[in-house]
Structures are given as C-alpha cells and as structure tokens.
Chains A and B, each alone.
Chain A
C-alpha cells in the first residue's frame, strides 16, 4: 500500500535569500533518507513560502518490505559431536534464531563450514520511520546560523510553530522540533482566518491557496511575481529592467504577491542610472522600470504581500520610503564630487586593507607595480594603468560606495570622469573588479584587463603570504573567483604573457609574511592551474582530463599558449594514429626509465643497423625539419599532424628492433633514437598521458 506523504514545517518568517536552498535541501535530504530506509516512493516535491518548508513525496509505501537477514552461527566442527549430535553451541544459536536445530542451514566456504539461518526481519512501518527521517533531514539543512528561542534547546533557522504530517489522509502522530504534528496548517497572516485544515497531501496546495491565501509552490509564486510585475510595468508605460536575483528574493518574501506601482520625482533621474537602480533594488527590493529605449522611468514596481483594502496607502507608503533614500543618494553624488579621487589617495593610508598586508594605499601601490610589469610584458603603455591602480580604491572612501558597496568601481569611473582623468584611466577603474561573478563581462580595455589581473593577483599573493589560502568550502576572500577571473581574462582576451613571471612579481611585491615568496609563488601557480583545469573542462564538455594533463605536464608559461596546445592535442586525439602514438610515447618513457641511462647522447647515424631503425631515424629527421618552424609559430595542430606520420615507422621499429641489445653501443644508440622521438612530442605536450592504460 502506498499514499502521498506531506510534511510541512510551519515557522516564523524564513530568511529570503536562503529560502530556495533550504527548500531544495530539505526535499533532497528527506528523499534520500526515505530511499535509504527502503521506503518505496515516487516523485519528491519541494515547497516553500516565507512561513513554511514542505515536502510532498508521492506514492510513499506504508512500510519497508520484509526481508531475510542472514545470521551466522558457530562452525559445524564445534556445533556437533562426533556422532552428529548438537552441542550447546548449536542449541544456543537455534534458540537465538527461534527455531529447532534441525531447521538451521549450513554454509560452506574455503575457510570451513558454518551454521547459518535466514532470519525473517519484518519491515518497519512508515509511521514508525518518518518522524525520525524528517528530524534527520531537518538537522542536515544548510543553515549558516541556527537559533534558539523561548526557554527551549531546540535549534532551527527560525522558531517552529506547527508541523503538518500526513500520509494519505492519515495524520502521522509524532513530535518534530518540539511540536506535536497534526493536519492543521496556517494561512496568510492577515488575509486568511488563520488555521487551514489539510485533508490530504494532494489537496495541500489548493487548501493553502483557498481559503488560506498562500501560494505555497515556490515556482508558481515566482511566475506570478514575474508576470505580475511585468504587467504592472507595462501598464505604467515601460518594462522591468533586467535582474534575475530579485525575483527569487521577492518570491521568498511574499505568500500572496500583489504588484504595486510607485512613482518618484523626475529629478532623481539625473543620478547615474546604476545609482537609481541600486537604490531601488538594494534595500527595498523594488523593480526598476525603463522605457522601450532602455531609459529609466521615474517608476518602480514593488510586490506587496497583501491584497490591501486600500492599495493607495500601500503605494503611498512605499513612495515615502524611497524618496529619502534617493535624496541620500543625490546628497552623496553632490558631496562626493567636492573631493577628487586623487585627493583621496592619501586617505587610503588610513584604511587597513588586511592585517599583515598594510593599508589600501599599500595594496594600491603593489597593484600598480604588478600592473606596470604586466603592461611591459604586453608592450602596452603603462602610465595610465599605473595611475588607475592608485585611484582604483579611492571610491571606497566616498559616501556613495559606503552606502551602496555594489557600486564600487563604477562610482570610481564616474568620479574619475568628472575629475577630468584620462578616459582610459576612468575606464580601467570602472572595469577592474570585472568579472565580478560567473558569466560577468570581462574588462573591455587593455588597461582594464591589466588592472583587473594585477588587483586580483595582488589579493591572491597577499592572502597566500599571510597563510590564509582557502581550505575546504571556506573562501572568505573570494580567491577562487579571483583566480578564475585572471584565467578568463588571460585566455579570453588573449593576453599572451608569462603567468609564472607575473606570479613571481606579485609574490615578491608582498610584505614579509608567514609564507616566503618562493613558496607563495609555487602554491599560487598550482592554485591557478587547478582552477584552469576546471575552467577548460567546463568550457568544453568533450575535453578529457588526460588531455589537460598532457599539456599541463609541459607547464606552458602563457595561458594563451596553453590553450593553443590544448586545442591541438584535442584535435590530435581524433586522429587514427593518436592511440598508438600515445602508447608508443608511454612505452618509450618506460623503456628510458628502466634503462636508467641519464643521457644516451645524440643518435649516431652510422651505428644504426636494422632497416626499421634507419627508417625511423630518417622519418624523425624529416618530421623534425617540418615541425620546427611550425612550433616556432605555435602551429601545434599542424605540428602534431606531421608527427602523426611517425606512427608507421615507430610501430615498425617496435615490431622489428630489439632495443635492449646486448651491445651497449648499439643499445645506447637506440635509446637515443627513442629519446629523440619523445623529445619532439614533448615540445608540444606529454602525449604519453593520453594512453588508455
């Protein structure tokens, strides 16, 4: 027998940013627990609103299947006497299993023969198991800070007030989080009459909606929010400005979404667009509205949690809130500009960047040094980027960025432009935090790219120097993101520079810390190459990790070069010759290792005796001559295609020639020949790593 199962944890208002992940984690964890407990079931559905976390499990069995559990008794040798009569050991085992000795079975292995019995274990009922499973799932939720309330010891994300637990139409009687379970949920705080009786899991969502005034299904509520605000914006003569994050958060703040359009004064549209948007979206979670040309309108859409008896008052109230906030922003915009960014440079000395890493001024100075080194590598003009580096953190001292931290960089750009800084300086300042998140734009200007890399490298090298590199899931400085940002810019903007030299420069620029510069550089290089592997594998699903390893083994100094080689090796793996050449490389590596010859020297042509080795030698010479100019131009793919022609002579060599000849001269010459083959491949990548075995 099976029936749908529902559990609803009724709470005080849950944290909106975490709601979706809590909801999903609860369903996943409970679904997993139920499966582990051998309760058969159908789909598992996650549900959440500000005051509830719920899971519905369809067609959940009402109990575990019975099963037989093998019991192992004493060895037959000690269980019976010579006449075959049971001794006490056999009787005790039979008693434990609740049967007569005659009913016991025997199992024979190469270690001997034992008495055994298949004990029937009746399955436990779902009613017995579920309270425990629900508690366990709740205890596993990813709650950053659990809280207590009242005088209890129970800890959860917010105080728990009611728990509904139904299996079909049966209430499962239990205590969860200190609350007696039942079938009474609660509707909307203000729109409903309070209690809502749930007859069965299948009727849960409907009952909450009517009469409960709660749209409990997160996705459906999100759609209502999205379509509601879109319609409201269009009624107000515009459209909603893009911004995915706000939808989830607003959905997590309402049980009964009702869009409300508000207006603010035109004069605030003189502020930078991003400032207006941040003011609306930041604290207030209002949706900004623009016209069809993308120009902001003096309107916003907010989503109330209420069908108000007097919607005008809701609108009026929200308009009153945003006015002083916009006025504050206008105030900062006005007063910040009285002091140029350059004038703030000295004040950076007063702001601690990080313990052990000096002030923001120290950071800016180091960043400027790294940026200049990078600009020099690129043969790019370094005056603008050095100035931008010194000014890039100055906007952190402005009132606007103090109020809207998200606008860092962007405000620096606006203020630099108003200060009359060169456009390239302003642009580099504005771009230097990019990419700020996965999929974000990269800096468009070379100066912006250089500054962004220098800033991130300084952060990485600095934090590594004070011994705080990330461990496990903890990455408080966002170093993984910074490393990925560096990789993306170098590869995607094709900045062909020596990454190792750059890392060395960044490590040497740091103040003396717990870790010395050489170690920092080594750790940082491997930290970045770890991200690099992830980056390339994410970029191309068909890329094999062995292909990456083949290139990594040669540790190309430039990531652009790395990327070129990767493409070439990947194309090579599609060639017919690839597999056997990979195997041959592996074989050569093993032979050379085993032979323990440090340096077999150069191949001496006249010592070549067999036809196959002569053929290989001449093929190798021919290939080398063709490949060398290709390598100089980094035409790795063409080079590997040339090298693929070595397949036949290499195969033939191994078929015909005995490498480990008794004659030492002959042997060494052959080892030298194989070494030369391998060396040629290694100029591109370590092809032996592609070998299947």
Chain B
C-alpha cells in the first residue's frame, strides 16, 4: 500500500469544495443540485437545456444521481442506487478544455507524472435524451474516473456551438484518494465535531431505498403517474412552458427507471417507454429553443459584453 504523503486524504466534502473552487476560478457558474430525481448530471437543465441553441454557458455543480436498478441494499462496496456526480459544462467548449481538466486533477492531488492518466475513446449516446456526443472516459491507472464529452446533438437538435461536458465520478475519486476499498468507508467529513463516513450518511438510505425500488414501489401508481406526466408534458409544451414541461419529462424518466427496477416493463415494452421519454425530450428541446429565440438569445450578447469588460 502507498504512503499517506503520496495520496493526500481529502475528505469527500473537501474533494467537492476543491472542485467547486477550481471551476469557479475558471469562470463557471457554480450551481446547486437540481431538486428532482435524475439518472445523471446531464439531465440537469443547466446541461441538457443549456446545450441547446447559440447562447454561451458555463456551469459546474454536484448532482445526486439515482439509478434504481443499481441498488444493492448497501451490500456491494462499489454500487449504489444514489450517488454523486460532479458536472462541468462549458459552451462553446474551449480549446484548452482537456488541459483545464488535467489542472483540476492536480488541484485534488493527482500528480500526472506519478499516475497514468489517459483519455480512452468512449462516445456517449443517450437514447432517452435523443442525444449523442464524442469523447472519452478518463482513466486513472486503468480506473474510469471521468466521462468527457463534446455534445454533438441534444434533444434531436444539432449543438452549435458545441458544449464540452466533464462528469467526475465523485465516489470513485474519493475511494482512490482515500485508499479505501468500499464506498461506505469514504470519509465524508473529519473535523472538530468528529469523523463522519459515507456509511454514516447513506448506508441506511441504500438499504431502504433498494427495498423500495425493488420491492415496494407501487407499480400501478407508477404506470399511472408516467402516463400523467407524459400527458402533462405535452400540455405544457402546448402552453409554451418549456421548463415546467422539462420537469415532467424528468419525473417520467425517473418513474420509468423505477418500473424498470420493479421488472414491470417487458423487454419489448422497454423500447417503447424509452421512445416516449425521447419524444418528450425532443419536444422540450424544441420548445426551449423557440422560447430563447423569442427572447432574442439574450446571452449571446450579454456574455460577450461581460467577457470584454472583465479582460
């Protein structure tokens, strides 16, 4: 095993705080998690919707991510149904985005002259979001720690300009930095009020939520709720309310994930559900584009003006 000096023991919250500091300094808007269940940071409107249209945008945030089928009742040291992603989006993607990312690794104590860091092809495609991009998974000594993507299409719309997306797997990074073999052994906080681990914070949640996801979730209610969200989403798009419509899509997507965990969706039906969510995502992306267009894409000018003033 390796020495403590080589791997500084950043706590989980230090890791997050360091990344927040780093990306704030680069000029990103530091946002808070979106208050809806979602499967990944990409679903946050700050990524999905902001990738649509010509307006520049840069943001960074933590996003709790829920993947009901990944629940293991807290028994598996590597899998959770609720975990964290750290998400950075910059649009248009700057020329030095890879270098910025590598700088952020140094900031959390990963020395690229010691560790073997590589960008390994891994293109991204989300059938539910009607989105795809070109990019890599980033390896740290063979372990995937980050997903790096240049968005090419979102909600069926071409991305012009292109959004660069960086998604850090926070638990994996923390396990590595702290040299622990189980997510639950990650030290979350270690201060004058005591040492708190990931287990203290989330283990019970994993046990109970796994039970809910796999055994207790009310299937009929979930199906009904899905239909309702879908219907509502259409209605809200008619009303020109892209953002509320988007939230209905998020809810529908999560409901589908729960149904999937309950094994209530047959394989052939599965494809149809994914298609229904994608249809919503596309309609919302188009509605959002139209609403920004109506406003004259105001951030095209305002961001340029502000960048000019500060330089």
Q: Given that A284-B142, A314-B141, A317-B141 are contacting pairs, would A151 and B161 also be in contact in the complex, using a CB cutoff of 8 Å?
A: yes
Structural contact, B116 and A308, CB atoms closer than 8 A = yes
Specify which of B114, B120, B159 is in contact with A310 (CB 8 Å cutoff): B114
**Residue A161, interface by CB 8 Å:** yes
Question: Interface residues of A: mostly helix, strand, loop or mixed?
Answer: loop
B154-168: CB near A (< 8 Å → 1, else 0) gives 000001111010000
CB closest chain-B residue, reference A260: B116
Chain A residues near B141: list those with CB within 8 A: 304, 313-314, 316-318, 320-321
**Residue A12, interface by CB 8 Å:** yes
Structural contact, A350 and B266, CB atoms closer than 8 A = yes
**Residue A17, interface by CB 8 Å:** yes
Among B21-29, B37-45, B89-97, B243-251, the one that faces the other chain is B89-97
B84-111: CB near A (< 8 Å → 1, else 0) gives 0000000011110010001000000001
CB closest chain-B residue, reference A14: B121
Q: How far is the CA of A314 from the CA of B118 in the complex (A)?
A: 12
B162-182: CB near A (< 8 Å → 1, else 0) gives 101000000000001000010
Specify which of A147, A151, A313 is in contact with B2 (CB 8 Å cutoff): A313
Q: How far is the CA of A318 from the CA of B118 in the complex (A)?
A: 13
Q: Given that A12-B98, A324-B78 are contacting pairs, would A316 and B152 also be in contact in the complex, using a CB cutoff of 8 Å?
A: no
Structural contact, B116 and A317, CB atoms closer than 8 A = yes
CB closest chain-B residue, reference A347: B267
Structural contact, A318 and B142, CB atoms closer than 8 A = yes
**Residue A189, interface by CB 8 Å:** yes
Q: How far is the CA of A145 from the CA of B181 in the complex (A)?
A: 38
Q: How far is the CA of A316 from the CA of B143 in the complex (A)?
A: 11
B-contacting residues, A297-330, CB 8 Å: 302, 304-306, 308-310, 312-314, 316-318, 320-322, 324
Q: How far is the CA of A322 from the CA of B141 in the complex (A)?
A: 11
Structural contact, A321 and B143, CB atoms closer than 8 A = yes
Chain A residues near B2: list those with CB within 8 A: 310, 312-313, 316
**Residue B123, interface by CB 8 Å:** yes
Structural contact, A191 and B121, CB atoms closer than 8 A = no
Structural contact, B143 and A313, CB atoms closer than 8 A = no
**Residue A149, interface by CB 8 Å:** yes
**Residue A352, interface by CB 8 Å:** yes
Q: How far is the CA of A424 from the CA of B64 in the complex (A)?
A: 51
Structural contact, A309 and B114, CB atoms closer than 8 A = yes
Structural contact, B160 and A151, CB atoms closer than 8 A = yes
Chain A residues near B77: list those with CB within 8 A: 324
A278-296: CB near B (< 8 Å → 1, else 0) gives 0000001010000000000
**Residue B32, interface by CB 8 Å:** no
Structural contact, A350 and B136, CB atoms closer than 8 A = no
Which one of B1, B121, B143, B159 has the greatest number of beta carbons of chain A within 10 Å? B121
**Residue A150, interface by CB 8 Å:** yes
**Residue B115, interface by CB 8 Å:** yes
Chain B residues near A317: list those with CB within 8 A: 115-116, 140-143, 176
Structural contact, B115 and A147, CB atoms closer than 8 A = no
Chain B residues near A324: list those with CB within 8 A: 77-78
Q: How far is the CA of A310 from the CA of B164 in the complex (A)?
A: 32
How far is the CB of A536 from the nearest CB of chain B, in Å? 39
Q: How far is the CA of A286 from the CA of B141 in the complex (A)?
A: 12
B-contacting residues, A121-162, CB 8 Å: 145, 147-151, 158-159, 161
**Residue A74, interface by CB 8 Å:** no
Q: Given that A145-B134, A309-B113, A318-B141 are contacting pairs, would A13 and B119 also be in contact in the complex, using a CB cutoff of 8 Å?
A: yes
Structural contact, B143 and A320, CB atoms closer than 8 A = yes
CB closest chain-A residue, reference B116: A304
**Residue A253, interface by CB 8 Å:** yes
**Residue B226, interface by CB 8 Å:** no
Structural contact, A16 and B120, CB atoms closer than 8 A = yes
Q: How far is the CA of A159 from the CA of B93 in the complex (A)?
A: 11
Question: Interface residues of B: mostly helix, strand, loop or mixed?
Answer: loop
Structural contact, A308 and B121, CB atoms closer than 8 A = no
**Residue B298, interface by CB 8 Å:** no
**Residue A351, interface by CB 8 Å:** yes
**Residue B268, interface by CB 8 Å:** yes
Structural contact, A190 and B161, CB atoms closer than 8 A = no
Chain B contact residues (Cβ within 8 angstroms of A): what range?
Answer: 35 or more
Specify which of A16, A189, A312, A322 is in contact with B112 (CB 8 Å cutoff): A189
Q: How far is the CA of A304 from the CA of B112 in the complex (A)?
A: 12
Which one of A150, A190, A284, A308 has the greatest number of beta carbons of chain B within 10 Å? A150
Chain B residues near A310: list those with CB within 8 A: 2, 6, 114
Chain B residues near A284: list those with CB within 8 A: 142
**Residue A15, interface by CB 8 Å:** yes
How far is the CB of B56 from the nearest CB of chain A, in Å? 9
Structural contact, B116 and A151, CB atoms closer than 8 A = no
Q: How far is the CA of A356 from the CA of B140 in the complex (A)?
A: 45
Q: How far is the CA of A15 from the CA of B123 in the complex (A)?
A: 10
How far is the CB of B127 from the nearest CB of chain A, in Å? 15
CB closest chain-B residue, reference A158: B134
Structural contact, A149 and B98, CB atoms closer than 8 A = no
Structural contact, B115 and A321, CB atoms closer than 8 A = no
Which one of A312, A317, A350 has the greatest number of beta carbons of chain B within 10 Å? A317
Q: How far is the CA of A145 from the CA of B114 in the complex (A)?
A: 34
B-contacting residues, A542-560, CB 8 Å: none
Q: How far is the CA of A308 from the CA of B112 in the complex (A)?
A: 9
Q: How far is the CA of A306 from the CA of B111 in the complex (A)?
A: 12
Q: How far is the CA of A191 from the CA of B116 in the complex (A)?
A: 11
Chain A residues near B6: list those with CB within 8 A: 310, 313
Structural contact, B136 and A13, CB atoms closer than 8 A = yes
Structural contact, B118 and A253, CB atoms closer than 8 A = yes
How far is the CB of A273 from the nearest CB of chain B, in Å? 22
Which one of A149, A304, A305, A316 has the greatest number of beta carbons of chain B within 10 Å? A149
Chain B residues near A148: list those with CB within 8 A: 150, 152, 159-160, 162
How far is the CB of B58 from the nearest CB of chain A, in Å? 13
CB closest chain-A residue, reference B117: A190
Specify which of A50, A149, A286, A305 is in contact with B116 (CB 8 Å cutoff): A305
Structural contact, B114 and A352, CB atoms closer than 8 A = no
Structural contact, A316 and B1, CB atoms closer than 8 A = yes
Q: How far is the CA of A90 from the CA of B93 in the complex (A)?
A: 62
B-contacting residues, A328-370, CB 8 Å: 350-352
Chain B residues near A161: list those with CB within 8 A: 95
Q: How far is the CA of A12 from the CA of B121 in the complex (A)?
A: 11
Which one of A17, A148, A309 has the greatest number of beta carbons of chain B within 10 Å? A148
Q: How far is the CA of A131 from the CA of B116 in the complex (A)?
A: 36
Q: How far is the CA of A310 from the CA of B172 in the complex (A)?
A: 21
Q: How far is the CA of A306 from the CA of B140 in the complex (A)?
A: 12
Q: How far is the CA of A578 from the CA of B17 in the complex (A)?
A: 87
CB closest chain-A residue, reference B175: A320
Q: How far is the CA of A17 from the CA of B118 in the complex (A)?
A: 15
Q: How far is the CA of A50 from the CA of B139 in the complex (A)?
A: 14
Q: How far is the CA of A317 from the CA of B266 in the complex (A)?
A: 39
Chain A residues near B113: list those with CB within 8 A: 190-191, 306, 308-309
How far is the CB of B50 from the nearest CB of chain A, in Å? 15
Q: How far is the CA of A15 from the CA of B136 in the complex (A)?
A: 9
Q: How far is the CA of A502 from the CA of B141 in the complex (A)?
A: 53
Structural contact, B118 and A321, CB atoms closer than 8 A = no
Structural contact, B162 and A313, CB atoms closer than 8 A = no
Q: How far is the CA of A78 from the CA of B238 in the complex (A)?
A: 75
Q: How far is the CA of A664 from the CA of B21 in the complex (A)?
A: 107
Q: How far is the CA of A256 from the CA of B126 in the complex (A)?
A: 34
Chain A residues near B161: list those with CB within 8 A: 150-151
List the interface of chain A (C-beta within 8 A of B): 12-17, 50, 145, 147-151, 158-159, 161, 189-191, 253-254, 284, 286, 302, 304-306, 308-310, 312-314, 316-318, 320-322, 324, 350-352
Q: Which 7 A-B pairs have the closest CB atoms?
A: A317-B141, A151-B161, A13-B119, A151-B92, A147-B134, A304-B116, A15-B121
* Subset of 15 A-B contacts with CB under 8 Å: A145-B152, A149-B162, A150-B162, A190-B112, A302-B142, A304-B116, A309-B111, A309-B113, A309-B114, A313-B114, A314-B114, A314-B115, A317-B116, A317-B140, A324-B78
Q: What 10 additional pairs, Cβ within 8 angstroms, besides A189-B112, A310-B114, A318-B141? A: A14-B121, A147-B134, A148-B160, A149-B150, A158-B134, A253-B120, A313-B6, A313-B115, A317-B143, A352-B268
